[in-house]
């Protein structure tokens, strides 16, 4: 059984929609319908409010930390159609860039692996996905995938910075990294996107869910020549998608059929344990056995901790 070792009183004045630890696990960022983003120092079991960031004009759905090699950067997105990039310098946080190129709520933001550079994917209820990248001189460039998902995009997640095919033979010169990310939307589809000739193209369309996709998560590479994606949906199922690195075919396996909508999926840093949270107000941890079966290894019930279960599309549908 997973135990709750610490709780943080955020003092948010409305529902919390996301909470993310930074790379080193010493700072926590939260966002809420109260239109604020808060950053806490959570070292040694203590909590100290470091910043209360105001800039959104509506509920803030999600936050994402960049890799620390780029400094202390945090991205946030919200119902006000905006993406804000915040930067900390000398203990002070400031809004360094604001993107307002979407026509509806921005539901998800995710930074690319550091190998790809400073690059942010943003999924919106207008059905499009924007990829924002730093030009290195303080300005930002944007490429948009229009009509990525009909009705809307709910989640985005980048692939690992390692190309699985390059791990198959250590004697072969490794090919250049291929920039990929996965998205999930209100069309019940999981889609994989690849950068090609300076444009983003659809590489794969994965069908298996029967209702809106609520979250997607591309597993970190642990040195294996395969790619693994988890997706969850309003159809109460979590599906594990696997590519062996030798073809373009993805196989699917239903991890479990839950009793309520599944809101979030998240991999451990080693990519072998999947955390699942949903409308049943539980967090469960899942691991694949040597026989290829997924089993629940632990769970947190609502009596031991509150699960963040609200999601932007619930508000914007």
Phi and psi torsions of 142, nearest 5°: -130, 135
User: Hey, what are 7's tokens?
Assistant: 């709780």
CA-CA distances (angstroms) from residue 176 to 68, 116, 161? 23, 11, 10
* Ramachandran assignment for 148, one of left (phi > 0), alpha (psi -120 to 50 degrees), beta (any other): alpha
Chain mean pLDDT for the chain: 88
Q: Structure pTM?
A: 0.88
Predicted confidence at residue 131, as pLDDT, reads 98
If you average pLDDT over residues 197-205, what whole number do you get? 94
Per residue in 151-184, pLDDT (tens digit) is: 999 999 999 865 545 544 444 555 567 899 999 9
Per residue in 240-251, pLDDT (tens digit) is: 999 987 778 999
SS3 (DSSP) at 42: coil
Per residue in 2-57, pLDDT (tens digit) is: 555 567 778 888 898 999 999 998 999 999 999 999 999 998 878 899 999 999 99
pLDDT of 303 higher than 80: no
Alpha-carbon distance of 120 to 109, in angstroms, equals: 7
pLDDT of 298 higher than 90: no
CB atoms within 10 A of CB 194: 15
3-state helix, strand, coil in the chain (%, to 5): 5, 50, 45
């Amino acid at each position: 059984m997973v135990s709750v070792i610490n709780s943080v009183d955020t003092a948010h004045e409305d529902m919390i929609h996301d909470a993310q630890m930074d790379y080193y696990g010493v700072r926590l960022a939260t966002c809420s319908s109260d239109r604020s983003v808060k950053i806490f120092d959570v070292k040694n079991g203590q909590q100290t409010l470091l910043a209360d960031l105001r800039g959104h004009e509506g509920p803030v759905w999600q936050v994402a930390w960049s890799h620390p090699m780029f400094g202390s950067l945090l991205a946030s997105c919200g119902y006000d159609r905006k993406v804000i990039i915040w930067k900390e310098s000398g203990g002070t946080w400031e809004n360094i860039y604001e993107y307002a190129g979407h026509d509806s709520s921005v539901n998800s933001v995710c930074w690319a692996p550091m190998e790809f550079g400073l690059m942010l994917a943003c999924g919106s209820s207008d059905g499009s996905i924007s990829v924002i990248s730093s030009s290195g001189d303080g300005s930002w460039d944007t490429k948009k995938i229009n009509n990525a998902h009909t009705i809307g995009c709910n989640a985005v997640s980048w692939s690992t910075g390692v190309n699985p095919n390059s791990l198959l033979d250590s004697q072969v010169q490794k090919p250049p990294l291929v920039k990929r990310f996965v998205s999930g939307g209100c069309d019940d589809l999981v889609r994989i996107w690849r950068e090609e000739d300076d444009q983003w193209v659809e590489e794969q369309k994965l069908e298996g869910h029967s209702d809106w996709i609520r979250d997607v998560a591309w597993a970190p590479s642990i040195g294996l020549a395969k790619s693994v994606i988890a997706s969850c949906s309003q159809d109460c199922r979590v599906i594990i998608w696997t590519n062996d690195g030798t073809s373009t075919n993805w196989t699917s396996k239903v991890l479990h059929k839950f009793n309520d909508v599944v809101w979030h999926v998240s991999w451990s840093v080693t990519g072998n344990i999947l955390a699942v949270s949903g409308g049943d107000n539980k967090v469960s941890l899942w691991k694949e056995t040597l026989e290829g079966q997924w089993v629940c290894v632990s769970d947190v019930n609502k009596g031991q901790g509150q699960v963040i279960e609200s999601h932007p599309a619930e508000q914007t549908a």
